[in-house]
Amino acid sequence: MNNYLSIKDIDSLPEWVAMARKLKEDPKADKELGQGKTICLLFFNNSLRTRLSTQKAAMNLGMEVIVMNFGNEGWALEYGDGTIMDQGTSEHVKEAAQVVSQYCDIIGIRAFAGLAYRDEDEDERVLQSFKEYASVPILNMESSVGHPLQALADAITLAEQNTKTRPKVVLSWAPHPKALPHAVANSFVEMMQLQQEMDFVITHPQGYELNEEITKGTKIEFDQEKALKDADFVYVKNWSNYNDYGKVTCKDPNWTMTQKKLGKAQFMHCLPVRRNMVVADEVLDGKQSLVIEQANNRTYAAQVVLKKILTTLNDQ
Amino acid sequence: MNNYLSIKDIDSLPEWVAMARKLKEDPKADKELGQGKTICLLFFNNSLRTRLSTQKAAMNLGMEVIVMNFGNEGWALEYGDGTIMDQGTSEHVKEAAQVVSQYCDIIGIRAFAGLAYRDEDEDERVLQSFKEYASVPILNMESSVGHPLQALADAITLAEQNTKTRPKVVLSWAPHPKALPHAVANSFVEMMQLQQEMDFVITHPQGYELNEEITKGTKIEFDQEKALKDADFVYVKNWSNYNDYGKVTCKDPNWTMTQKKLGKAQFMHCLPVRRNMVVADEVLDGKQSLVIEQANNRTYAAQVVLKKILTTLNDQ
Amino acid sequence: MNNYLSIKDIDSLPEWVAMARKLKEDPKADKELGQGKTICLLFFNNSLRTRLSTQKAAMNLGMEVIVMNFGNEGWALEYGDGTIMDQGTSEHVKEAAQVVSQYCDIIGIRAFAGLAYRDEDEDERVLQSFKEYASVPILNMESSVGHPLQALADAITLAEQNTKTRPKVVLSWAPHPKALPHAVANSFVEMMQLQQEMDFVITHPQGYELNEEITKGTKIEFDQEKALKDADFVYVKNWSNYNDYGKVTCKDPNWTMTQKKLGKAQFMHCLPVRRNMVVADEVLDGKQSLVIEQANNRTYAAQVVLKKILTTLNDQ
């Protein structure tokens, strides 16, 4: 594999999940694979899980890790073609991506949606620019459109926890005080579309539809109670309005996940999570919550991806 | 040892000091002990010595080190129970601590006193919350109440420099333009209470008493001249008013340490130090100053602590 | 070699360039040299190339690397002698430099010119203070006066690309919206003065003369067209006015480098570069641009310097 930009780069979800579960039993088994290789993780936004789990995964593979907060440690980047750079940006991504490629073997990029201009966000300007100009593989550590490392960790968690032949999985929108990106929800939906033996339904207030190009073919149910009926796994997540782009047009607390609504289902969330806003304490502190294990699986999701990239690099 | 939260976690100060002095002769002797182990250092406040010496100590033990400035790289943490998180905090420490535990074997935490609410500071909210929710050992890199790595380094320095059967050690308050925490003074007092063969006296302006629960049984002398008489070691440190909590109610320059006041004693300070405010240039630049060696011993203090934690981990 | 503070620390440019080109063929050949050694990179200013390439070079040599953004992670430093530190600075460089020296084997320092006070900048206050008080070798990662790692990378690039017996090299000033330091231009001039077999000319608007102590003996031509005639290599760089210190007194777009002006010469720039301000897109995107290779050579420039310092350390 040359890049991990989206869920579409997964050629076989069952195989990847199986590989992750095997790595989890012996995380340092491939310690030789990354010897002498360096990964450079560039953060244009804050991070806790992604920052630490990706470092951990790379170190498990024997790689050297360079972490850089591009925003305040580097230079403000320009992305436009033909721009006369007489304003705030100091360096063009054309140079930055080529240059960073020379100091490492893989580049990880985190750059959130700005939520101001939908077209710009959908272009995944930062991620795709690095992909275009870099000469080494690119790892998406959450772009404006997707968070495929999270969704892969979610797939691992589902596989570990599922006991049914055909479990029911619900993605349930929740209220939040701030405007959040759609990346986690998008990648979760795309990942669920690769699941052969699961029933999947999305529930959210009317008007909070995700990008139809992503959700097409997936069942959407506006009645949360109906959607949650007989659920085995409930993935809760806020996102801002996609149609009235980046706006918070609903904060209805009736959408907050409670133990009563959850029933016997297992609870999932990518974290960080706003307690008693997105989900009640009783759920997070209860035994049906999988959030800590999801976070744990971030390491093995990253490790599968890096292992596949390293294997390709070593074969060249 | 499972955690290093305060001086109370030292089971035998002489043994720890002896171990540090031995490590200092051959810092890489235990290079195998930390192989495959990772420490994650989380900074909620600035740091120079602690940041570098703890990294160095961990690397001497063969560990991998992940450093994170939680404040600007991670998410604002919530500590309250039952809070409806609709304000500025994005993640509860319950999740953060559990999650970080999964990416490393030891967590170091630096979180200073806010000096606004005494009760909150005395609860060591950040440190104790991580201790409560983390599943790996916690290392105190300075909390709102104590700085036990510094005090251990001070004990090493005293042991190296002392030539008397029963030396006299003085903790002498000094003026400072800003309100500073009590952590260094607290831990130094607690460490001195473990010293069998030393005379210890604290001197400060009336009203600048430290927490009595910590100083009880220790001699306090308001007359600095009397206190300093025949001193062998003088540890100078500012702290803000503890009773009128967090206020600067005295900046009297008569408390500044000078060569004349110091006499033949050796000078100690944890650094950073305000020259000519806390202590005169002549003292810091003179031969009786131990401050650089104290800073050097930070590495070996951290290394003893990490060695003890690693040994316990490896025995499990 | 004990320190790398300026181009003057290069004893034989041809030998250093030859060593770099050899290292480039097998960057990990000296992996044993830095075993057990630590370099601490202290950044008082932003960095992309220097940050990553110096880390990479150190890792290639087997060293452990500690990176610290002194500005926001450490304490505000005081440099004055005898200052009563009752204002914004928390720690004197005398302590900081001695202390950091105890945690590592080499210290790298980046501290740009403030461009407010020429005397202060020419003193290279941060770099020289660390050099004075540190007890380990100091590496200049760009000071207020020079950027000798960049100039060494430029020398490597010239050596790799040159095919003439006596090539003509031009340093050509370019307009820029912000006031920039003179460090890169200064070190490039000093490096060119060590070139035995090259013709060198500097061109810039009248009044934009660099420090005469540095340029003395070097040809200066105010007519850019004349200067560029028959050039083999054109190094383009902005700097602010040196005489009207730190001011931007010219933004004349006629000085922007274009393909027409460049002719058949190869184009050089240290990066980051403002496109269509300093140089036209057509040049940067064309085949005559060497900027990406210059950035690549930053790794090998740093590696030569570190190798020389490590060799001296190991001999002691």
- Which residues are CB-neighbours of C252 under 8 A, at least 6 positions away? C175, C205
Tell me the chain A residues in contact with residue B87 when contact means C-beta distances shorter than 8 Å.
Answer: 177
pLDDT at B316: 83
A296 — pLDDT class (breaks 50, 70, 90): very high
B238 in helix, strand or coil? coil
CB pairs under 8 A between A and B: 83
Binary contact (C276, A78; C-beta < 8 A) = no
Note whether A17 and A159 are within 8 A (CB).
yes
Residue by residue, what is the 3-state secondary structure of chain C? Answer: CCCECCHHHCCCHHHHHHHHHHHHHCCCCCCCCCCCCEEEEEECCCCCHHHHHHHHHHHHCCCEEEEEEHHHHCCCEECCCCCCCCCCCCEEHHHHHHHHHCCCCEEEEECCCCCCCHHHHHCCHHHHHHHHHCCCCEEECCCCCCCHHHHHHHHHHHHHHCCCCCCEEEEEECCCCCCCCCHHHHHHHHHHHCCCCCEEEEECCCCCCCCHHHHCCCEECCCHHHHHCCCCEEEEECCCECCCCCECCCCCHHHCECHHHHCCCEEECCCCCCECCCECHHHHCCCCECHHHHHHHHHHHHHHHHHHHHHHHHHC
Same-domain pairing of C273 and C302: no
Cβ separation B84–A43 shorter than 8 A: no
Distance of alpha carbon A214 from alpha carbon C32, whole angstroms = 51
Instruction: Give the per-residue pLDDT at A109.
Output: 98
Does C244 map to a domain? Answer: yes
Q: Which residue from A23, A58, A239, A49 is spatially nearest to A139, judged by alpha carbons?
A: A58
Minimal Cβ distance to A91: which of C56, C272, C276: C272
A288 in a structural domain: yes
Q: Are residues C141 and C262 in the same domain?
A: no
| Number of structural domains in chain C | 2
Q: Which residues pair with C219 in a beta bridge?
A: C201
- Domain that residue B306 falls in: 7-146+298-315
pLDDT at A71: 80
Residue A32 CB neighbours (<10 A): 10
pLDDT of the residue at A1: 87
Q: With CB atoms and an 8 Å threshold, state whether A47 touches B73.
A: yes
Please tell me whether the peptide bond between B14 and the residue prior to it is cis, using omega within 30 degrees of 0. Answer: no
Contacts of B98 in chain A (CB under 8 A): 292, 295
| Residue C32 to residue C36: CA distance in whole angstroms | 9
Who among C52, C72, C273 is closest to A103 (CB)?
C52
Using CA atoms, how far residue B303 sits from A150, B109, C130, C192, C211, in Å, is: 36, 16, 26, 48, 49
C222 and C272 share a domain? yes
Q: pLDDT band for position A272 (50/70/90)?
A: very high
Residue B268 CA to residue B278 CA, distance in Å, equals 12
Q: Answer yes or no: is pLDDT of A316 > 90.
A: no
Cβ neighbour number for residue A64 with a 10 Å cutoff: 20
Do residues C154 and C288 both lie within one domain? yes
Is A31 part of a structural domain of the chain?
yes
Q: Which residues in C have their CB inside 8 Å of a CB on B?
A: 36, 38, 40, 64, 66, 68, 72-75, 78, 82-87, 90-92, 94-96, 98-100, 102-104
Does residue A58 fall inside a structural domain? yes
User: Is residue A275 domain-resident?
Assistant: yes
The ipTM value here is: 0.96
Q: What's the pLDDT band for A255 if we cut at 50, 70, 90?
A: very high
Q: Each residue of C113-133: b (16+ CB within 10 Å) or e?
A: bebeebeebebbbbbbbbbeb
For residues B305 and B253, membership in a common domain is answered with no
- Site from A39, A59, A68, A73 to mutate, C interface, most C CB atoms within 10 angstroms: A73
Distance from CA of A43 to the nearest CA of B (A): 9
* CB atoms A84 and C285 under 8 Å: no
CB contact under 8 A, A100 and C52: yes
Please report residues of C whose CB lies closer than 8 A to that of A134: none
Minimal CA–CA distance to C280: which of C242, C234, C247, C249? C234
Helix, strand or coil for residue B173? strand
Q: Quick: pLDDT tens for A119-154.
A: 999 999 999 999 999 999 999 999 999 999 999 999
Q: Kindly give, in sequence order, each residue whose CB lies less than 8 Å from that of residue A81, ignoring residues fewer than 6 positions away.
A: none
Q: What is the mean pLDDT of residues B150-170?
A: 98
Of A28, A273, A276, the CB nearest to B84: A276
For A198, the token pair is 């699961």
pLDDT tens per residue across span A145-196: 999 999 999 999 999 999 999 999 999 999 999 999 999 999 999 999 999 9
Specify whether B43 is located in the same domain as B178: no
Reported as a pLDDT band with limits 50, 70 and 90, residue B1 is confident
Residues 6+ apart with CB under 8 A from B78: A275, B85, B89, B90, B91, B92, B93
In tens digits, chain C (316 residues) has pLDDT values of: 899 999 999 999 999 999 999 999 999 999 999 999 999 999 999 999 999 999 999 999 999 999 999 988 899 999 999 999 999 999 999 999 999 999 999 999 999 999 999 999 999 999 999 999 999 999 999 999 999 999 999 999 999 999 999 999 999 999 999 999 999 999 999 999 999 899 999 999 999 999 999 999 999 999 999 999 999 999 999 999 999 999 999 999 999 999 999 999 999 999 999 999 999 999 999 999 999 999 999 999 999 999 999 999 999 8
Give B80 to chain A, closest Cα distance, Å: 10
Distance from CA of A53 to the nearest CA of B (A): 6
Query: What integer best gives the mean pLDDT of chain B?
Result: 97
Q: Mind listing the pLDDT tens digit for each residue in B112-134?
A: 999 999 999 999 999 999 999 99
Q: What is the pLDDT, as a whole number, of residue A72?
A: 85
Residue C160: inside a domain, yes or no?
A: yes
Q: Which residues from chain C sit within 8 angstroms of residue A58, using beta carbons? A: none
Q: Considering only the beta carbons, identify the residue of C40, C74, C82 that sits closest to B46.
A: C74
pLDDT at res. C91: 97
Same domain? C215 vs C244: yes
Identify whether C1 is part of a domain: no
Q: For residue A12, what are the CA distances in angstroms to A195, A268, B7, C16, C250?
A: 10, 23, 53, 50, 59
pLDDT score of C191: 98
For residue A299, list chain B residues with Cβ-Cβ distance below 8 A: 102-103
* Tens-digit pLDDT profile for residues A55-82: 999 999 999 999 999 988 999 999 999 9
Residue B41 annotated as part of some ligand binding site = no
CATH number at C255 reads: 3.40.50.1370
Residue B186 reports pLDDT greater than 90: yes
Determine contact, residues B95/A288, Cβ cutoff 8 Å.
no
List all residues 6 or more positions away from B261 whose beta carbon is below 8 Å from its beta carbon.
Answer: B224, B225, B228
Residue C2 lies in a domain: no
Verify whether the Cβ–Cβ distance A48 to B75 is below 8 Å.
yes
Amino acid at B296: N
Indicate if the pLDDT at residue A248 is higher than 90. Answer: yes
Q: Are residues C141 and C153 in the same domain?
A: no
DSSP letter for B257, please: B
Instruction: Give the distance between the most distant pair of CA atoms in chain A.
Output: 61
| One domain, residues A306 and A267 | no
Chain B: nearest CA to A293, how far in angstroms?
8
Considering the domain architecture, whether residues B46 and B89 belong to the same structural domain is answered as: yes
Residues on B contacting A at a C-beta cutoff of 8 Å: 36, 38, 40, 64, 66, 68, 72-75, 78, 82-87, 90-92, 94-96, 98-100, 102-104
Is B180 labelled as part of a ligand binding site?
no
Best to test chain C binding among A43, A99, A107, A130 (most C CBs inside 10 Å): A99
Per-residue confidence (pLDDT) for residue C71, from 0 to 100: 80
Per-residue pLDDT of B237-248, as tens digits, reads 999 999 999 999
From its phi and psi, is residue A61 left (phi > 0), alpha (psi between -120 and 50) or beta?
alpha
Chain A: nearest CA to B86, how far in angstroms? 6
| Among candidates B51, B272, B277 on the partner chain, residue whose Cβ is nearest the Cβ of C73 | B51
Residue A305 shares a structural domain with residue A241:
no
- Measured between CA atoms, the residue of chain C closest to residue A42 is C48
- Domain match, B141 and B236 both: no
